[in-house]
């Protein structure tokens, strides 16, 4: 039950971030958008539920900081609403993000290495 609610909340997060990006609300200051950064191999998804830099560039670092800040706020909100810990939400989000990563995008393996999906 809790995992089902967390999954719904995580999917809501993804849709919200996509809409915000399309509307230029949260990505206006970013030098590159998330989709482009993933396609270029600059950033990747991690098991922790957060984005990480694959190729160290100023644009990638800024994007990762902004996306992760938004994700953490949302994860905290989900955790509070569901009476669970932030860590539980982060792990579930990480699993879902890695599962949904597109072919050719980078994901961090359990061993800590970057691999293309």
Q: Which residues pair with 115 in a beta bridge?
A: 107
The model's pLDDT over 91-108, given as tens digits with 9 standing for 90+, comes to 999 999 999 999 999 999
Nearest CA to 105 out of 44, 56, 34, 22 is that of: 44
- What letter does residue 21 receive in the DSSP assignment? H
Is the pTM of the predicted complex or chain greater than 0.85?
no
Nearest CA to 49 out of 89, 3, 102 is that of: 89
Contact 64, 52 (CB under 8 A): yes
d(CA 10, CA 24): 21
Residue 38 sits in which domain range? Answer: 2-116
- Number of independent structural domains in the chain: 1
Contact 49, 7 (CB under 8 A): no
Confidence of residue 5 (pLDDT cuts 50, 70, 90): low
Q: What is the pLDDT of residue 14?
A: 59
Helix and strand numbers (H, E) in the chain are 4, 4
Contact 110, 47 (CB under 8 A): yes
The model's pLDDT over 42-80, given as tens digits with 9 standing for 90+, comes to 999 999 999 999 999 999 999 999 999 999 999 999 999
């Amino acid at each position: 039950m809790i995992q089902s609610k967390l999954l719904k909340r995580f999917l809501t997060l993804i849709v919200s971030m996509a809409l915000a990006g399309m509307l230029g609300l949260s990505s206006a200051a970013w030098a590159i958008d998330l989709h482009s950064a993933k396609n270029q191999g600059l950033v990747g998804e991690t098991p922790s539920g957060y984005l990480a830099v694959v190729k160290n560039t100023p644009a990638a670092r800024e994007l990762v900081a902004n996306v992760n800040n938004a994700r953490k706020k949302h994860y905290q909100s989900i955790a509070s609403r569901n009476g669970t810990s932030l860590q539980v939400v982060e792990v579930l989000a990480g699993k879902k993000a890695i599962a949904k990563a597109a072919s050719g995008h980078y994901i961090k393996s359990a061993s800590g290495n970057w691999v293309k999906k």
